[in-house]
Amino acid sequence: MQDYNQRHFRKLLDAFDNDFKKLGFSFGSQKDPDTFRNHLLSLDKELRLDKKNLDHLQKDFNRKEISIEDLKIYCKSDEATIRKLISIMAWGGMKEHQFMMCMTGTKLFKCKLDHRYKIKNAALLKEYDDLNVICHCMDYVSKTKLKRDEIYEIFANLNLFQCGPAYFTKLMFFTSNEANPCFIMDQWTARSINLLIDDQYISMRNSKNPSPSKDGNNGKKYNKFCLIIEDLSKKISKIKNP
């Protein structure tokens, strides 16, 4: 059993009382998934989108916000994986420029006249296929019962451009099997866990973002992070429902 800083643990209990019931109605700083969808379509030739994905991107999302539970249901549905990817990143509040750099693997600039992103160096895209690879990994993870550390290493080894643990663990959270549920390791959860266990266990790239795997946050460390969250959940449940 994990020992916790009692001062911070009490604050967590206060937050639970004040905020837990509101989480289902808290939408945060979500982005419009149709904005992401349209930007991908504008670069269909550069991204070499196949006909199937092009067809999947034609339909509007017709929503700007979605709850966690509804997004979980959506990600377990037969909906196209590329649409699930867009939905998760938009739900997570990823900046559109950051999203497009992740999808293209290179730096972009936004042409104000055309209202679209353009690639600074198209030659860099010749060997780039991460959009399809991300979708393949999401499909693979959703259909298997891999351990958390294995899932983490799969996404970490993609070395996604402008997409570290704070965002690829969101993909893990919504696509992992219920047998080994993954949790989001973003600035809020990582910093909170570090405070609760009185240790800089999760390496931070800066004051906000967890470091990438090569700088200390590997699958083994991520698995312990998830175990701590589960332990906290049990402790809080025991206190709140004796």
CA 115-80-87 angle, to 5 degrees, is 55
* C-alpha dihedral, 18 to 91 to 99 to 224, nearest 10°: 60
Distance separating alpha carbons of residues 15 and 171, to the nearest angstrom? 26
Say what the pLDDT of residue 235 is: 94
Strands 116-119 and 108-111: antiparallel
Say what the pLDDT of residue 115 is: 81
Say what the pLDDT of residue 196 is: 95
Ordered by start, the domain boundaries in the chain are 6-240
Say what the pLDDT of residue 1 is: 64
Q: What is the pLDDT along the chain (242 residues), one digit of tens a residue?
A: 688 999 999 999 998 888 877 777 667 789 999 999 999 999 887 788 889 999 999 999 999 999 999 999 999 999 999 999 999 999 999 999 999 999 988 888 888 787 888 887 766 655 567 788 999 999 999 999 899 999 999 999 999 989 999 999 999 999 998 878 999 999 999 999 999 998 888 998 877 789 877 678 999 999 999 999 999 999 999 998 87
* C-alpha dihedral, 117 to 120 to 126 to 131, nearest 10°: -40
Q: Helices 219-240 and 148-156 meet at what angle, rounded to 10?
A: 130
Distance separating alpha carbons of residues 68 and 36, to the nearest angstrom? 19
